[in-house]
Structures are given as C-alpha cells and as structure tokens.
Chain A
Amino acid sequence: MSEPLVLVQGLHKSYRLGKVDLHVLRGVSFGLTEGSFTAVVGASGSGKSTLLHMVGLLDRPDRGKIVFAGRDVTSLPARRRNEIRCRDVGFVFQFYHLLGELNVLENVLLPAKVDSSVFAWARRRGQARRTAMGFLDRLGLRDRLRHRPKELSGGERQRVAVARALMNRPRVLLADEPTGNLDSASGRGILDLLKQSNRRDGQTILMVTHDISLAEQTDKVLALRDGQLSEA
C-alpha cells in the first residue's frame, strides 16, 4: 500500500468557551491516499470543520501530528505553512467566501496572485488567466467572468469557489460543507464537480458534511463522534 499523502496521527484540539474547556478532537487519526475522495460526517458541532482547518494548516493542534507528503508539517513556521496552503491545499467553504470587490475571474486568479511577486505575475499572468478560464469554462461560468459575487446565484458562487480552490492545482482539496448552503440541485451539481475533479484529474479530496447521502457518494466515509473518528 502506498504511503498516504496526508497522515493525521493522534490529533487533539480543545477550545475554551467561557469557563468550560471543550475537547473537540480526542486523538483523531486517519490517512488520505493520493487521488482519494474521503468524506467526514458528523453532527453539527462535532469538530468536522476544526479537523479540516487543521489538515489545511489554518489551525494548530494541541497535540498530535500531521504529515503532508511524508513531511511533518505540524510545527512548521508560519511562512512555510503559508506556502503549503498556497500551493498544495485548496479550500472550498460552506459560505463560499468570495471577495466582494473582485469579479469572478479575479476571485479565481487570487491564489495565483498570492503565489506571485509583481515581476513573477507579469511572466505568469497569461498562463494563469488561461488556467482560470479553463476552470470557469468547465464549470459553466464562461459568460460570468466580469460579474461580481453578489450578481451570482448560490450554486454559481460555489462553483467559483471550487475554481478558486483548484487554481493553483493543489495536491489536496478540502471542502467544508460545500453543499450546505445550496438547494439540492445545486448541491448535486457541486458534488458532481468534485467527483469529476477527483476522477478525471486524480484530485485528492477531503470533504466534511453532515449529509450522509452526499458522503456515501465518496470513496471512503469517516464518522466523527465525541471527538473521535471511526470508519462509517
């Protein structure tokens, strides 16, 4: 068996809410092999998003280890974590989180811009635009390039968010309730997109959802209960 792309070992995380310590994760361990599509299910507040944020290096665990491509990234300095987030991780959020001042194309290009200096961008601009247009074409947003997020429907916004997450061709895509804010048709469309990306491009995807029916369409389903993860 090949070594997993992402390996999570004994992850602990607690938050202090007022005077109460809330243990969200209690020794979570799992692995994501390259090209897999894994879903994490659990009730609301079970710690799914927290787990996702830690895998995506947006947050640090209290204890435990995250290994990315064979390298322990748990205690890397912020600068290195930023680089990994920029190049190797893509995020899709429940509430899209598109930047309101930017149009569709600019939102999609944002990760490429974050990854480039002014001079590098001058060289890379054409290629980046072609890549972004390719994604938007595939996602059926070709005619919405100059539209602002507020001019789009929920499903369209989430498709833009997916395009943005894929822009830097990350090794792993993390989706946090990507259909949670959409009607069922749009939700199905987004899931189809993710599946397509996984099957056609071999994109490794970790998706958290509370919708079992969605989770069942992935390769592997993990359930998070009482801060612990088990195979569903």
Chain B
Amino acid sequence: MYKLFLCLRYLRCRVIAYFAILAVALCVAMMLIVVSVMNGFLAKVERAAKGLFGDIVLESRSTEGMGLYDEFIAQVHKNVPEVEAASPFILVPCYLRIPGGNWSQIVQAAGIRLPERAAVTGFAKGLFVQAGGASPTFDPPIAQAIDCLDGQIKFIEAQRASLPGSQGDRTAALELETRLDNALLAHLGAKAILRRAKDRQAAIAESYAKLRAAYAESHGEPTDKTEAAEKQLEELTLAAGWLDPSRHIIMGLGIPGLCFRTDEGKTIRFICPGSKVSLSLIPLGSGLGAAPSLNSKTFTIVDDCQTDVSSIDSGIVYVPFETLQQLNNMAASYSADKPGELAIPARCNQIHIKVRSERTDEQYLETVRAKVERQARDFHDAHPEAMMGDVAVQTWRQRQAVIVGPIEKQRTLTVIMFGIISLVAVVLIFVIFYMIVFQKTKDIGVLKAVGAGSFGVAQIFLAYGAAIGLVGAMVGTVGGYYFVRYINPIQDAVDRWFGFRVWDREFFMFEKIPNEVEVAPALLIVAGAIVAGLLGALIPAWRAARMQPVEALRYE
C-alpha cells in the first residue's frame, strides 16, 4: 500500500517530477507527430497509387499499346475469381490550352471509361459536380453543374466580402481581390453557358424529333428537309456546348493557372464546368512516322476531380476512353485491301485491376498478380494480334517502388533518429531520479526502519518512473494528437505570420500534410514512454534498494 501511496504523493508534490513529465511528453508528442506524418504520407502514396492504377496494373511497354483488352478482361474475370473489376486505360502526354486564350500547359491525358473506372479506383470520390455519386459519367446533368456553380459563386462572394479593408497587407488583399473577381467572372460566365444549354435542351429535343420525323418521311434518305433539321440540331448542339459526351472532359483540380488556393486551403476555379479547353497531342498509338502530325480536339469541361495528390491533380485531365483512343491513333484500323477486315485492333496502354478481397497486403496481391500475368501470357499465345507479348504486370506497390521504397526507408531512419533523441528523456529521468534518491536518502532510511523491504523501496521509485512515463505519455499523446490533427492550419498560420512553409505541395506531391493518428503506433509510443520512465528510474531505484538503513539515517 505504502508504495502506491508514496509514489503518487511524490508525483504530486515534487516539482522536479513535472520537468521529467514535460520531457517525456515532448518526446512522445515528437515521436507521434513524426510517425503519424510519415505513416500518413505513405498511406497517401498508397491511396494515390491505388486511386490511379487500382491494385494491379497491366502495362504495355510499347507505345502502340495492347489490343483486345475487353476480351482479355473477360478472360481474367472468368479465370481469376479474385478480380473484382478491370478497366482499360490510356495515358498520353498532351498540350492543354484554352481556345482563344494565351494559357497553355503540358499535362497527361487519361482516357478512361466511366462509370467502369469508378469500380476499379476511387475516382468518383473527388469529383466536383458528381460528388459522392457511385456511377460518375462524362455526361452529368446540367442542373447539377449549375447547382455546384451556385455554391461556388456564393463562396467566392463571401470570400470577397470578408477581405480586409484598410488594415493589414493591402497589396496581398488587392491581389486576392483581383483573383476572386476573375474567378467570379469565370463562374458567372460558365453558369450563363450552362443555363443557355439547359434552356436549349428542350429545343434540341424538339429539333431531334423533327429530324427523326424528316428521315421517317423520306424513308431514311437525306432530303432538304432532313438537311435543314440536321443543321438546326447541330447549331443548337454547338451553341449548348454540352450534349456530346465524347467531347467532354473532366479536369484535374490543381492545374497551375486554372485555379488557386485560399489561405484556408479551399480551391477556387478560374475555369469551370461549361467552359471549353483544347487538347493537342502527337499520336504515338501507331508509332512515330517520319513527320508526326498533331491531333487536336476541343472539349467541354463537365466536371473536375481532386484526389489530394498534387502531382495527379495538377497534371492529369480525363477524357472518354474511346475519344483519346481516336486522338492517339489507337482506334481499330481495317485492312485497305479487304474492307471490313480488322487489321489492327483498338488498343490501350494499361489495364487497371481491382482485387475483390478486402485483403490488400502485398503477399496476397502478388498471388493475384501472378495469376493475371499467367492469363496475359496465355492470352498472348492464343491471340498474337493483341500484342500482349511485351506487357508488365505489377502490383501498385511494385509500380510505385521507386517512390514507396525510399519513403519507407526515410520513415525508418526518421523514427530511429527521433528514437535516439527521445533517449534524452531516459537520461533526464535518470538524472532527476538519481537526484531524488539522494534527496530522499533519509526517507528511505525511515521507510526501512518502519519495516519496508529493499524491493518495496525499489518499487516506489520504479512505480514513480513508470507513472512519470505514463503521465508524460498521456500528455504527449493528447498534445501530439491535436498537433497532428491541426497540422495544416498550424502550417498555414506559421506561413502567414513568418512566411515559412515546411510542406511544399509540389515537392511532397500532396496538397495537405497527412493528419491522421493511427492507434497502434500511438499505443506503441505510450508503451515506449513507460519503459523509458522505468529504465530511467531503474539504477536510482536499485541504489535506493541497496541503501543500508543505518547509513541512510545517518546521511547528511
């Protein structure tokens, strides 16, 4: 009883114990922050890679790509039950510009199938217009887009209203005001386009009905009437700028020059759904000829996507798979000699596969990967025209090994470094306890005089050390948790006040610093702190236990 009693009393009454608690708390908070940020960073890399590639990626090493992908996917579904979904994918570098404007940027154009892709990756999660929808398409309802723009317009107006007046940094405020004005104009313009498109939907439907009637009347033969109806429909469609899903594009939300971030971390667009962009690319799908020509197409923006991975959001735009196939000369070509006979099948660069199981460990994915690879070999043997002889089948981790490997090593190194730094807490506890044992020499003598055993005396100091470790760990965990939780606002505040930014989103690939604390590492750190407290108290406790009561009582 006396051990617990004295331990708690020493903990409460001795001011020096608070310094030991503070040291432990700081070390625990430091470790928690480092481990959480590093683990979060790795988890984000994983999520990003899986968000882009799925669990397993089948990639052609040839620029011409691989054909018969639908047949291959059907075979994989049939023979590899672990595969839940698969989708073909094209990724090509292209030149993105706003028609009639000066802005342009080199980005990657991703040809995807919607909603198929949403089943393979988490693509649907970050959409703006189709937020939270399970089946995103390249043809979302106009009304939905208008609602989204309305929300954004309100937000921009609120931002504008909250701009500082004469106080504060006037230059920065003016710059922000100009940006907000431009964004507001873009939103209002886009909204007007969408409204017109919506208004014309009825007219288009009517015009389409007229066209059908004209063709019915002429038994399918083109006449002046059908031509007039076609022309009217085309004019209306072009004016609406919305109705051809094959010419729709989903932008990455983060392309430099097309949006900006507020201090609160909100992204404001300069270009919105309803606006047009143009894509130009050198088609690599049929190899580079002697004089490669540029393929271009104008697209209407229907949505944008934010994955929170800076490198993806700032450099990828999504267009319908078949459209990009055409643009990149990967569509099927037919024999010139024998019309109707397929010369080269339609192709894609990659096939992304999602594995059915909730198990996502590398060992399991590797098993499925091997099965898919075997299927690819078999398919190539059976269908040489599919050009699947030179494909790489990799799990997401294997594909991202160049990125994930160094980050994992860096995490281990950082944890070791900070672990060594945390040993300072052990030394500090040792010094403090050594001092306390010296100060308490007479108390130890008295305790032994009233019958306390050596082990009992040692237990007081060991429990005292463990208690310091526990209390310090609890304080540090709470502090570290809230620091990690609010790490992004803290960084923004530091940036605002001191102009010092630790997290460079261009360098670290992600928009925000990871801010999730995992339970298992946190528990491990708390346990480590208690052990550190025990270790620090061990030698002083041993010394106290060995102390002869007579010497202790005589100690001056």
A112 to chain B, nearest CB (A): 9
**B452:A114 contact, CB within 8 angstroms:** yes
Those of B1-22 within 8 Å (CB) of chain A: 1-2, 4-6, 9-10, 13-14
**A118:B549 contact, CB within 8 angstroms:** no
A219 within 8 Å of B (CB atoms): no
Closest to B10 in A: A101
A162 to chain B, nearest CB (A): 13
- The count of A-to-B residue pairs whose CB atoms sit within 8 angstroms is 72
Interface 0/1 of A100-115, CB less than 8 Å to B: 1110001000110111
Q: Could you say which of A102, A111, A121 contacts B451, with CB atoms under 8 Å apart?
A: A111
**A114:B550 contact, CB within 8 angstroms:** no
- Of B4, B9, B452, which is in contact with the most chain A CB atoms at under 10 Å from its CB? B452
Determine the chain A residues whose CB is within 8 A of the CB of B446 once the complex forms: 93, 97-99
Determine the chain A residues whose CB is within 8 A of the CB of B456 once the complex forms: 114
Those of A89-134 within 8 Å (CB) of chain B: 91, 93, 97-102, 106, 110-111, 113-118, 120-121
Given A58-B448, A86-B451, A91-B449, check contact A97 B442 (CB 8 Å). yes
A89 to B169, CA, bound (A): 79
How many interface residues does B have (CB within 8 Å)? 26
**B2:A113 contact, CB within 8 angstroms:** yes
B65 within 8 Å of A (CB atoms): no
B553 within 8 Å of A (CB atoms): yes
A20 within 8 Å of B (CB atoms): no
A78 to B1, CA, bound (A): 20
Determine the chain A residues whose CB is within 8 A of the CB of B449 once the complex forms: 56, 58, 85, 91, 93, 97
How many interface residues does A have (CB within 8 Å)? 31
B175 to chain A, nearest CB (A): 62
**B442:A114 contact, CB within 8 angstroms:** no
A28 to chain B, nearest CB (A): 16
A121 to B443, CA, bound (A): 21
Given A59-B548, A113-B2, A118-B4, check contact A86 B450 (CB 8 Å). yes
A91 to B5, CA, bound (A): 21
Closest to B452 in A: A114
**A118:B442 contact, CB within 8 angstroms:** no
**B443:A118 contact, CB within 8 angstroms:** no
**A101:B1 contact, CB within 8 angstroms:** no
Determine the chain A residues whose CB is within 8 A of the CB of B548 once the complex forms: 59
A117 to B445, CA, bound (A): 21
Given A58-B550, A59-B548, check contact A114 B2 (CB 8 Å). yes
The contact sample of 27 A-B pairs, CB cut-off 8 A, is: A56-B449, A58-B448, A58-B549, A58-B550, A59-B550, A78-B453, A82-B453, A83-B451, A85-B448, A85-B449, A85-B450, A86-B451, A91-B449, A91-B450, A97-B449, A99-B6, A99-B446, A101-B13, A106-B9, A110-B447, A114-B2, A114-B447, A114-B450, A114-B452, A114-B456, A116-B1, A117-B1
